[in-house]
Structure 1
């Protein structure tokens, strides 16, 4: 009866990891030989692990990453333009904590989206908030939000996440509304939140893509996106093609 009451109280206090650990100890003959301090320490560790795992699941769910990718699976094969030391440094996520942007560019199939999601996954594992968005769809949603009055709310939500991943930058043409909305998104995040851009369009062609007859807006967006940013340029064969001819490839 005492055991049942203890488990009930632990669950009522939402100490689910500790409750499970307590049940595990009751079923383990080895646990009986541990001291009170050792058993209590194990219960505390299990509660902390349970909470960390629950938070990670929540962060990953909210991030809506398009690919199941992680930094440990990056493919460093020759010709991809990837350096282990650079990726290891970026994997610390200090650039996110300092509000620095990251640009991942390369040809179609080079693994830009995968790499962006790998950094997103890594950020979640370090307790940072992430949101993955395909830029063409995001701009469509923002255009609709002007009509229903939710634009400011959408903008505030985008401004809060530690890392915003904008995929397929430069893939679809921009109209005047989309150009101004993109500026607002970048402006709200500039200097204190990180934005990761993936694009098959070379950076030196971004101004032409963004200008659309309004170079002032293009200058403003580029200044906020590129100034002080870090860059990864993926090279080599299409990873999609390599998946069909070699061992499973990633990144």
Structure 2
């Protein structure tokens, strides 16, 4: 009976992780185990694995991953997001292109507050490719409001090549 109960709990836990991964809207699921560390030896493995503990999320701190295109920033941001999900946290991943599209769509519908809530709610918000697109004025203002309202209460990871 105990084995059946343990199996049921494991299945439920896995389903919860799967639902949270789907809700996070990652481009594709990335894991630290899949990262090619030899591709870019300048990446400090210890720092990445420290981020993967998600202590920064529990402490409400933010992370900015900077570097030229193609060095693995997006991959690592998504992999850290997946680690956060496995630790029971909620995550939302959006590229800056998604952010602008979301803002324009919700503004057209007059539902800015709904969008604001969606971006404020997760334990970890990942905004990928900051600086790749010029933000329309209103989108920039709303994104700034989101970052400021999340500051020191919820964590945000941003990637940028600028």
Same fold (TM over 0.5): yes
Distance 1:136 1:85 in 2: 31
Cα pair 1:69 1:118 within 8 Å, conserved: yes
User: Counterpart of 2:130 in 1: which secondary structure?
Assistant: coil
Out of 108, 111, 115, the position equivalent to 1:150 is: 111
Partner of 1:161: 122
Gaps of 5+ in 1: 1-39, 202-251
Out of 79, 94, 111, the position equivalent to 1:118 is: 79
- Residue 79 of structure 1, CA deviation: 5.1
* Mean Cα deviation higher: 154-163 or 73-82: 73-82
Partner of 1:89: 50
Cα pair 1:139 1:182 within 8 Å, conserved: no
User: Counterpart of 1:192 in 2: which secondary structure?
Assistant: coil
Q: Are 1:102 and 2:67 an aligned pair?
A: no
Distance 1:188 1:153 in 2: 15
Cα pair 1:105 1:200 within 8 Å, conserved: yes
Normalized per residue, the structure richer in helix is 1
Out of 14, 36, 42, the position equivalent to 2:3 is: 42
Q: Are 1:129 and 2:93 an aligned pair?
A: no
Q: Report runs of 4+ in structure 1 exceeding 3 Å deviation.
A: none
* Mean Cα deviation higher: 53-62 or 186-195: 186-195
1:27-52 alpha-carbon deviations (Å, 9 max, x no partner): xxxxxxxxxxxxx2111211110110
Gaps of 5+ in 2: none
Distance 1:78 1:145 in 2: 40
**Bigger relative contact order, structure 1 or 2 (CA pairs below 8 A, ≥6 apart):** 2
Q: How many residues align?
A: 162
Distance 2:102 2:82 in 1: 24
Distance 1:128 1:186 in 2: 18
Out of 132, 153, 159, the position equivalent to 1:171 is: 132
